């Protein structure tokens, strides 16, 4: 990926002026506004949080996990998105046929085979992560199930789903749905960890059979459900019914996190249960 990105940026720099990308006129494509585009990018980032967590939970320390996540995910994502934006921008400027297939776009600039290899390997690795994470989620529900059973079933279902005609045509809508679901959820999780528990969970109680102090009300945290519900409704309204010019992701995240902190601290949980 690094070699391909370096080669592409070098060739692009030889053939084109990067300043021309910044001078491109804004054109609405597929009814995507700047706000929706921002939401798609944020949703993509949030959708990978559980997968990164499933892997970095095995790190020796929080510091190592944080550095590994930033270097392996954040830096790689910025590089990949920057490469995609650059190639897409120059393809528009040169009048190439627009497509969601990066290998086709890169082939137009002489990188067809290397791009196809990188895309193939990236798809394989990312989907292995998806199957692994989904399998762990199932094992949280049924811990005694052998790992290979959910992994095999989820893998087969994923392959069958990939064969649905025109599935990539709805990929952007899928990302917006992901954002509506994931952003409020992680707003609650982040607020709970940093604002309520000050970055310190009692791991023994968290993993105990009865949940200890984290059992809340018969195993449910009402503040979390209410805050999440509010965030999901706002995400739908501001993302689909009445899109905001600057995107729904940031306001939904902040409102959900703030709502949870207020509900959790002062309204729906007895003070005796506060950590």
Give per-10-residue mean pLDDT for the chain (275 aa).
72 76 71 82 86 85 86 81 81 75 71 75 82 91 92 93 79 84 94 90 81 80 94 92 89 96 79 50
Q: Does a structural domain hold residue 213?
A: yes
pLDDT of residue 27: 67
Return the pLDDT at 149. 96
Using the 3D structure, point to which of 164, 192, 218 is the last residue of a domain: 164
- What pLDDT score was predicted for residue 126? 81
**249 and 180 within one domain:** yes
Same domain? For 145 and 210 the reply is no
Report how many domains make up the chain.
2
User: Taking the complete model, does pTM exceed 0.95, yes or no?
Assistant: no
DSSP, residue by residue, 32-98 = B-HHHHHHHHHHHHHHTHHHHHHHHTTSSSHHHHHHHHIIIIIIHHHHHHHHHHHHHHHHHHTTPPP
- Inside any domain, residue 9: no
The per-residue pLDDT for 167 is: 76
Torsion of Cα atoms, 240 then 246 then 251 then 253, to 10°: 80
Residue 181 and residue 160 share a domain: no
Listed residues 164, 183, 211: the one ending a domain:
164
Domain membership flag for residue 178: yes
User: Looking at the structure, do residues 134 and 170 belong to the same domain, yes or no?
Assistant: no
Query: Angle of helix 249-262 relative to helix 34-47, nearest 10 degrees?
Result: 60
pLDDT (0 to 100) of residue 225? 94
* Strand, coil or helix: 255: helix
Q: What is the predicted pLDDT for the residue at 268?
A: 66
The residues, ordered by sequence, that sit 6+ positions from 274 with a Cβ below 8 Å of its Cβ are: 196, 265
State whether 170 and 269 are in the same domain: yes
Asked if residue 156 belongs to a domain, the reply is: yes
- Pair (118, 182) in one structural domain: no
Determine, yes or no, domain membership for 82.
no
Q: Note whether residue 24 is domain-resident.
A: no
Buried-state track 222-250, b at ≥16 Cβ within 10 A, e below 16: ebbebbbebbbebbbebbeeebbeebbbe
Domain end position, chosen among 134, 164, 194: 164
Q: Are residues 189 and 242 in the same domain?
A: yes
* 170 and 228 housed in the same domain: yes
Question: CB-based burial of residue 8 (10 Å sphere; 0-12 exposed, 13-18 middle, 19+ buried)?
Answer: buried
Contact in structure between 233 and 220 (CB atoms under 8 Å): no
Same domain, yes or no: 114 and 247: no
**What is the structure's pLDDT at 272?**
47
Domain that holds residue 250: 33-44+166-274
For residues 107 and 173, state if they share a domain: no
- The answer to the question of residue 54 being in a domain is no
Q: Do 196 and 216 share a structural domain?
A: yes
Q: Could you report the per-residue pLDDT of 149-201, keeping only the tens digit for each?
A: 999 999 999 889 888 887 777 777 888 888 899 999 999 999 999 999 888 88
* 155 and 200 together in one domain: no
Check: CB of residue 21 under 8 Å from CB of residue 86: yes
């Amino acid at each position: 990926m690094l070699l391909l990105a370096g080669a592409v940026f070098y060739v692009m720099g030889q053939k084109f002026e990067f300043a021309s990308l910044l001078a491109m006129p804004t054109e609405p494509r597929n009814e995507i506004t700047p706000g929706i585009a921002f939401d798609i990018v944020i949703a993509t980032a949030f959708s990978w949080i559980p997968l990164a967590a499933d892997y970095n939970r095995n790190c020796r320390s929080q510091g190592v996990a944080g550095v590994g996540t930033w270097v392996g995910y954040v830096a790689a994502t910025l590089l990949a998105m920057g490469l995609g934006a650059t190639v897409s921008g120059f393809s528009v400027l040169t009048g190439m046929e627009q497509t969601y297939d990066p290998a086709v776009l890169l082939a137009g600039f002489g990188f067809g085979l290397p791009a196809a290899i990188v895309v193939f390997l990236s798809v394989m690795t990312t989907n292995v992560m998806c199957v692994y994470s989904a399998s762990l989620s199932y094992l949280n529900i049924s811990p005694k199930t052998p790992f290979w059973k959910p992994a095999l079933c989820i893998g087969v279902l994923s392959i069958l789903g990939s064969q649905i005609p025109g599935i990539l045509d709805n990929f952007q809508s899928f990302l917006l749905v992901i954002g509506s679901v994931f952003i409020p959820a992680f707003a609650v999780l982040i607020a709970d960890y940093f604002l309520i528990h000050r970055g310190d969970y009692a791991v023994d109680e968290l993993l105990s059979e009865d949940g200890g102090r984290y059992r809340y009300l018969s195993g449910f945290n009402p503040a979390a459900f209410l805050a999440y519900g509010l965030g999901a409704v706002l995400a739908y309204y501001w993302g689909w019914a009445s899109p905001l010019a600057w995107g729904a992701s940031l306001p939904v995240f902040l409102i959900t996190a703030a709502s949870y902190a207020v509900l959790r601290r002062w309204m729906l949980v007895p003070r005796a249960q506060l950590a």
